Amino acid sequence: MLEEKNDNLQEADGKPGIEISDSTPDNVIEESDSETAAENLVSNTEIESETPEADHQEALDAITNSNAEESEDETLKERHEIPMQDYDTFTLDALVDELKKLVNTDKTMSVKEHIEEIKKSFLLQYNHLIEEKKEEFNASKQDPNEEFEYHSPLKSKFDEYYSIFREKRNAHFKHLQTNLKSNLDNRLAIVEELKELINPQENIKDTLKHFNDLRERWKNAGPIPKDKYNHVWNNYHFHVENFYDYLHLDREARDLDFKYNLEQKQKIIARVEELVNETDISKSFRELQDLHRIWKEDIGPVSKEHRDTIWNKFSELTKKIHDKRELLFESLRANEQQNLEIKKEIIGKLEVLGTEKVNSHSQWLIQIQKVEALRNEFFAAGKVPSEVNEETWASFKTAVRNFNSFKNSFYKDIKKDQNDNLNKKMALVAKAKELQESTDFTATTPIMKQIQEEWKQIGHVPKKYSDKIWKDFKDACNHYFDKLKEHKSEENSDEVAAFDNKKAYLETLRAYQLTGEHKTDLDAIKLHIETWKGLGKVPFSRRHIEGKFNKILDALFEKLSLSKKETEMMRFSNRIDSLSESNDTRKLDNEKIFLMRKIEEVQNEIFQLENNIQFFTNTKNAKKENSIVLEVRKNIAIHKESLEVWKDKLKQLRNLNQE
């Protein structure tokens, strides 16, 4: 950045050249008898005083404090190379990944602040997650003695990486503390040796050589505690200047040295003027720190006529950069205030959601999604002013906790229903397991189907039992219906044979002729019916053959001189037997309902007709029944005959069910 200066003292035979520091002692010199003499000497010397104006002091203090801290631990300079990010906007996974990356760097102290910010952001989010999980656990736990436990692989990784950083940091501090004390003792010893150089009895050449050795030792002495930084440096430069004045070097050599120092400081001022216009304010401030360090530690004083002017110029430019930095901080604070308003708005929305009552699980899922979205917005909103950070976080947690409590009250209400549903389904599982080995397929199959229908009608059960109880029920049902399927496969061959036999028998029946003898023909038809039944059940897809058989029977019945009732009952009996053989309970039930309706309709019709007859027969002029009355009586007789047939059919069907 600046030209290297030859720091070697030259002989005093016309070629002297000494570097002289311009630092002011600032009343921090330790008082002693030896220093009293030095102060008497310095009263006649020209020590550069760089006391800034009061309005510039804040800027200069900021530079001095930063340099003192970095002087203590030189690794802190490396932290400026890694920009600080807004870790509050990171997810838990992203925070762990960033921590892993930073821990693996060799610049332990350069990432210290970053890692602490990551830790703070991670714990905020993780603690929030733990609170949510705990509330969910309390809402769903069955055993009151059960303790909450939650293990997160992410937390384990975070703890592992942070432990590595802590070990590296502790090792660094241990090494640093050991060196700081040793370096401080070494530098104080150098200052003491500088005091002893002011000795008129010693050879000047030996004194100069000793002085150069001390300066070289000083440069390589290493860092010291920051609280000793200004005190030790000012002592050192005070005695360096005392020694310079003590030598009474020729004016020409001294003016050359002053000129060189002036040029170096002018170069620094020129660079600072460029930094004033630098857009990256943080970068310009860091470089300004380095320039102050060079000004103070590497460059000697200038002539008295330029001393105040050049220092005032430097401090004025320093203040400009400091003011720009303060404006940047104000902008950041304004941004934090905006973030605060955003987070307050989010908290307000959460508070509203904590009072909106919904009455179904699906609606609560929507509410939960809204809260999760607001939660993500909250963490993505960025930092807020530090003085309200804890208050804002507490308000956010309270709003989320109130929502969860409101939500849990709903699920606590339905929890009892779910437990009732669990008991009902467990009863169905037990029943299904009891029937799964049954071989009475005719009786068991309708029951198993009814069990499945009941299962569908029962609502949700607690989630932790849902999968197991469904598996047990499904396995029991599948076991039974697999057996039923095997049984039907065995029956299929018999049904196909029965179809073939019935098909052949149907052809012989088509050629059958009645003899004309009523009883003989009736017995023969009944025998055909019994023979047909004895041939067995046919496959469901080929049941149309039963219809063909019934048509032939109808034709034979018409040729017989049977009463209408006898014909109806024989046809009905044949059809019901066919339904009974097919185990079609649904059609049998429908037939029963149909008969009951027909009986009711006929009874109502008879009642209406009898009322009509009473109207006609009660007239005064009715000497005899007219044709209308006769027709009504005839209809009543027909309906009563029909009613007897329907009742006989219903009786026959009920007797079948009892069997």
Res. 80: pLDDT tops 60? no
Please state the rounded mean pLDDT for residues 422-434: 89
Our measurement of the distance from residue 556's CA atom to the centroid of its chain's CA atoms, rounded to an integer in Å, reads: 80
Q: Which residue has the higher pLDDT, 562 or 283?
A: 283
Q: Is 506 a residue whose pLDDT tops 50? A: yes
Q: What is the DSSP annotation of 249-288?
A: --HHHHHHHHHHHHHHHHHHHHHHHHHHT-S-HHHHHHHH
Average of pLDDT values for 171-176?
72
One-letter identity of residue 568: E
Structure tokens belonging to residue 198: 């002011």
Are 21 and 247 within 8 A, CB to CB?
Answer: no
Phi/psi region, residue 281 (left: phi>0; alpha: psi -120 to 50; beta: rest), is alpha
Phi, psi of 25 (to 5 degrees): -65, -25
Residue 240 pLDDT greater than 80, yes or no? no
Give the per-residue pLDDT at 402. Answer: 86
- Give CA–CA dist 6/212, Å, rounded: 11
More confident call, 617 vs 440: 440
Q: pLDDT, tens digit, for every residue of 354-371?
A: 888 888 778 888 888 888
* Cα 65 from Cα 527, distance rounded (Å): 122
pLDDT of residue 559: 73
Residue 584 clears pLDDT 80, i.e. is over it: no
Is residue 18 predicted with pLDDT exceeding 50? no
Q: What is the pLDDT of residues 460-503, one digit of tens each?
A: 888 788 888 899 989 989 988 888 877 776 657 777 788 888 88
Spatial contact of 70 and 77, defined as CB atoms under 8 Å apart: yes
Cα–Cα dist 565/511, whole Å: 27
Instruction: Give the highest mean pLDDT range of 214-223, 384-393, 408-417.
Output: 384-393
- Which is more confident, 342 or 542? 342
Residue 440, judged by CB atoms within 10 A of its CB (0-12, 13-18, 19+), counts as exposed
Q: Is the pLDDT of residue 52 over 70?
A: no
Q: 638: helix, coil or strand?
A: helix
Per-residue model confidence (pLDDT) at position 430: 92
Predicted pLDDT at 3: 38
Cα 22-27-32 angle, rounded to 5 deg: 110
349, 374 Cβ separation under 8 angstroms:
yes
Q: What percentage of the chain carries pLDDT values higher than 70?
A: 77
Report residue 325's pLDDT band, with 50, 70 and 90 as the boundaries: confident
Is residue 563 over pLDDT 80? Answer: no
Contact yes or no for 288/321 (Cβ under 8 A): yes
Closest CA to 216 of 19, 2, 15: 19
Res 134 pLDDT > 70: yes
- Per-residue model confidence as pLDDT tens digits over 222-238: 777 777 777 887 888 78
* 13: confidence class by pLDDT, cuts 50, 70, 90: very low
State the pLDDT at residue 10: 34
Cα distances from 451 to residues 419, 424, 556, 657, in angstroms, run 19, 11, 45, 22
What is the reported pLDDT for 200?
62
- Per-residue pLDDT at 246 exceeds 70: no
The tokens describing 584, both together, are: 């079609």
Nearest to 33 by CA among 262, 220, 195, 184: 195
Integer Cα distance of 592 and 586 in angstroms: 10
Our separate counts of H helices and E strands in the chain read 19, 0
Q: Please give the Cα distance from 564 to 587 (Å, whole number).
A: 25
Q: Between residues 555 and 447, which one has the greater pLDDT?
A: 447
Rounded-to-integer distance, Cα 49 and Cα 58, Å: 18
- Position 106 scores a pLDDT of 67
Average pLDDT over residues 24-30: 33
Mean confidence (pLDDT) of the chain: 75
